[in-house]
Amino acid sequence: MHLSGLLEPAYFPLDITLVRANLPLVDAYLQAGLDALADSTRMAIFQKLYKGPFAVNELARTLPVTRPAVSQHLKVLKDAGLVTDIKNGTRRLYQLDPEGVARLRSHFDQMWTKALGAFQQASEKEAGGGHHGKPGRRTRPKSV
């Protein structure tokens, strides 16, 4: 059987265009950045670079890992688009990549805007008389 036969509707019942339409568009650099920052050592390096450019040796002195390990972590951050390096004499200085940081910020700004908008709608709906969740406890009237 040829591969083209497997793509016939009988063998491939899902409508590919329907599946594609329902998949969210994923920014590969955004995902790589989030994955890179999931590691605590890389997050610590990222936070140190927020203060300005550093050489590998300067970073390694402040972290509980070796200089080669710091270099490997910097490579991951660089590949994720979060860090750039510049040559300064005989050494390289690493700094945050403004575009990568802007991409992360934009992502979280959009998430918060959406979450806060949903919260506002829910609170306005509740203030308008809609009740959600468990009903409140009734108390007995105080006897006079």
Which domains are assigned to the chain? Answer: 26-126 (1.10.10.10)
The least confident of 88-92, 100-104, 126-130 is 126-130
Distance set, CA 110 to CA 21, 60, 64, 103, 105 (Å) = 21, 35, 35, 11, 9
What does each C-alpha distance from 142 to 63, 135, 136, 139 come to in angstroms?
Answer: 64, 21, 18, 9
Q: How confident is the model at residue 137 (pLDDT cuts 50, 70, 90)?
A: low
Whether residue 17 has pLDDT greater than 50 = no
- Residue 71: what pLDDT? 97
Of the two residues 73 and 122, the one the predictor is more confident about is: 73
> Do residues 99 and 116 make contact, with C-beta atoms less than 8 angstroms apart?
no
CB atoms within 10 A of CB 19: 9
Q: What pLDDT digit, counting tens, does each position of 62-79 carry?
A: 999 999 999 999 999 999
Strands 91-96, 54-55: pairing kind: antiparallel
As a whole number of angstroms, the distance between CA 31 and CA 104 comes to 9
DSSP-assigned letter for residue 142:
P
pLDDT at 116: 87
pLDDT at position 46 is 97
- The predicted structure's pLDDT at residue 2: 46
96-109 residues labelled b (16+ CB within 10 A) or e (exposed): bbeebbebbeeeee
Task: Output DSSP code: residue 141.
Answer: P
**Mean pLDDT, rounded, of the chain:** 81
Q: Measuring CA to CA, which residue among 67, 93, 94 is closest to residue 83?
A: 94
What are 103's two structure tokens?
Answer: 């991409």
Asked if residues 75 and 65 have their Cβ atoms less than 8 Å apart, the reply is no
pLDDT at 22: 53
**pLDDT single digits (tens) 26-54:** 577 788 899 999 999 999 999 999 999 99
Model confidence at 125, pLDDT cuts 50, 70, 90, reads confident
- Token output for 94: 């690493």
